[in-house]
Chain A
Amino acid sequence: MRLLSVAVLSAVVAGTAATAFAAEPGATPTRMSWSFSGPFGKFDRAQLQRGFQVYKEVCATCHGLKYVAFRNLAQPGGPGFSDAQARVLAAEYQITDGPDSSGEMFERPGRLSDHFPSPAPNDEALRSRFGGALPPDLSIITKARSYESGLIIGLSDFFRQYQEHGADYVHALLTGYEAPPAGAKVAPTQAWNKYFPGHVIAMVKPLEDGRVAYSDGSPQTVDQYARDVSAFLHWAAEPHLEQRKRIGFQVMLFLIVFAGLMYFTKKKVWSQAKDHA
């Protein structure tokens, strides 16, 4: 009777739920195979360096990376630049500092401790360049974007440890530009993107094959650029990912061995209680 009543109840819920209208925000991104997914995932240094190059040469025109400091580029678990390389990269940027002793702000080359400068002095300046749309800061974009996978896949993600929805989304968005369908209202400063909620996006197609010149012989295609910059942005969002997974493995190993020992200790202790019964 219990099973029956549960089954009836579930059927009622499932039946009514299935008729519900669900808004379709954008196409569901394809799951990519990322080097940093899974319990032993690590960033691919070369990929992060290429992704940084794409960010620097393309994305940085409009998008900030304000939470990332130049010193982070040389930190373990990141793109693997040397200290000297990171210094040189920082010095390519002009940073507003001050006020100096006469009360004036001044420009100076970037240092390791500086963060990536914003592409505009303030959000309003940025908005005015893009017809009111604000290009978001990209520091934590891969954690701030996701997509629905449904109940079953969502639950199975727990066991597969899948957390790379944001990177999937960024890659999908960058490769999802299409000609707008007939009748769609798209302004000249806008574009049609398969994966963007509502499809009309204020960012026109940013990547073209061959736009960024890689020096390591990797394919210079939109798909490769998108993969690389998504990986780089995932590192930017989660710079301690490798450390987290490394410590996690040690903690899990310790806890599982500890639990095993506790189990046998508990058995031993309770065997004495049985004798007294």
Chain B
Amino acid sequence: MHGHGTYIPQNKALAWFERRLPVLGLLKSSFVDYPTPRNLNYWWTFGGILTVVLMVQIVTGVVLVMHYTPSSADAFDSVEHIMRNVNYGWLLRYIHANGASMFFLAVYVHIFRGLYYGSYKDPREVLWILGVILFLLMMATAFMGYVLPWGQMSFWAATVITNLFSALPFVGEPIVTWLWGGYSVDEPTLKRFFSLHYLLPFVILGVAMLHIWALHVVGQNNPAGIDVKSNKDTVAFTPYATIKDSFALICFFILFAYLVFYLPNYLGHSDNYIPANPLQTPAHIVPEWYFLPFYAILRAIPSKLGGVIAMFASIVVLVFVPWLDTSKVRSARYRPLYKQFFWILLVVCIGLGYLGAKPAEGGYIIAARILTAYYFLHFLVILPLLGFIEKPKPLPSSIAESVLKGKESDPMPAKG
């Protein structure tokens, strides 16, 4: 995103405009001529997918707002009104609700891809941290969006999560009262969550632009994890990356459409079709699937404050990954030990997700404690130590060479 482009459009009117605001040149240099490493595999298509899903969420969300009523008396009814009486309202709402899940699915793939290929290492630390901020913003947005239908799970999820702040010493109770706008989750809470749920996606959009900007400054990482050395190592963004991203996006949409049209409530909880009732607590309060690993960590710690700290720490630790990882080699392809620990971490996170859906009792809580301990062990102990213990495999001399060589050692092979 440089101010002075060299691009001069053929069309006279466009050329006139370009001299005054070089936006076409910016777009051309960012999304047409931009050189991308030629060995990028399909795990790299999720950045583009995330951008499109954000757009889908904003467009469907803006239309849903035209029919939704943010009040505790009418919210539930207005959602049913959308489902029954608004033209294609059922489609809009099911896209928006499942879109949140698809958003998180894509972001988890995106994050684990970054962890596998060391995309957070020098010089991409700021890019990575912006990503962690985006992830936090997404979590806040999704949580507040889930409250809006004002069903039983909406209400009780809001109660449980806002109550976490009461664990803070001295300031806890006043903060919770302030967040609620009263002495319980009620009308003011719903109204402010609605307001913020509309605001935050645009904050996400802004930070995503910074994220893309930072990406275009330092260039993309790649499966070999080595720097681009010559233009033999790259291909132009258009048509090569555009066509590959588009194909991946269509495949992603197949899964998205499958959920929307055939299993629209598969990822939801049936209790959220019961209107919110402050006098009746559901048998099990469970968050949406994408929060389950964090919910498991929260409940694994015996003290409330400890649980809250552990849960936030599990995300904040990601900010420090660029410095916790002491290895100079980026890609796990050339890190035999790290590769194994990566897969263990993935299994641990899925395991935490499973335990987050189970009641916090007996064996489940013991298992959650073991996995929580391992999660932090991975980032705070294993990752720093590996850089000293591990003997990396020899790196290819260039990206072009790694493309021509066999990829038998790579569990995530490039399909390019």
Residues of A within 8 A of B (CB): 1-2, 5-6, 9-10, 12-13, 15-23, 25, 39, 67, 72, 136, 139-140, 143-146, 151, 157-158, 161, 163, 165-166, 197, 237, 239-240, 244-245, 247-249, 251-252, 255-256, 258-259, 262-263, 265-266, 269-270, 273, 276-277
Contact = CB atoms under 8 A, between A and B. Distances in A.
B168 interface: no
Contacts of B232: 276-277
Interface stretch (B49-57, B180-188, B238-246): B238-246
A197 B270 contact: no
A266 B344 contact: no
A21 B361 contact: yes
A277 B359 contact: no
Nearest to A237: B273
Given A146-B270, A166-B270, A262-B250, A1 B340 contact: yes
B145 to A, nearest CB: 19
Contacts of A18: 363
**Top 4 closest A-B pairs, CB basis?**
A248-B261, A144-B273, A20-B363, A20-B362
Contact of A139 (B80, B339, B344, B370): B80
Specify the main secondary structure of chain B where it touches its partner.
helix
A73 to B, nearest CB: 13
A244 B261 contact: yes
Given A23-B359, A144-B270, A273 B250 contact: no
B270 A240 contact: no
Specify the main secondary structure of chain A where it touches its partner.
helix
B344 A252 contact: no
Contact of B370 (A13, A237, A263): A13
A13 B367 contact: yes
A233 B365 CA distance: 39
Interface residues of B, number: 59
Interface in B239-298: 239-240, 243-244, 246-247, 250-251, 253-254, 257-258, 260-266, 270-271, 273-274, 283
A23 B358 CA distance: 11
Interface of B: 38, 77, 80, 83-84, 90-91, 94, 232, 235, 239-240, 243-244, 246-247, 250-251, 253-254, 257-258, 260-266, 270-271, 273-274, 283, 339-340, 343-344, 347-348, 351, 354-355, 358-359, 361-367, 370-371, 374, 400, 403-404, 416
Contacts, number: 148
23 contacts: A5-B344, A10-B347, A13-B351, A17-B358, A20-B358, A25-B283, A139-B80, A143-B273, A151-B354, A158-B266, A161-B262, A163-B264, A165-B270, A244-B94, A245-B262, A247-B261, A248-B257, A252-B254, A259-B250, A263-B247, A270-B244, A270-B416, A277-B403
A164 B243 CA distance: 39
Contacts of B80: 67, 139-140
B231 to A, nearest CB: 10
Contact of A244 (B91, B253, B355, B374): B91
A36 to B, nearest CB: 12
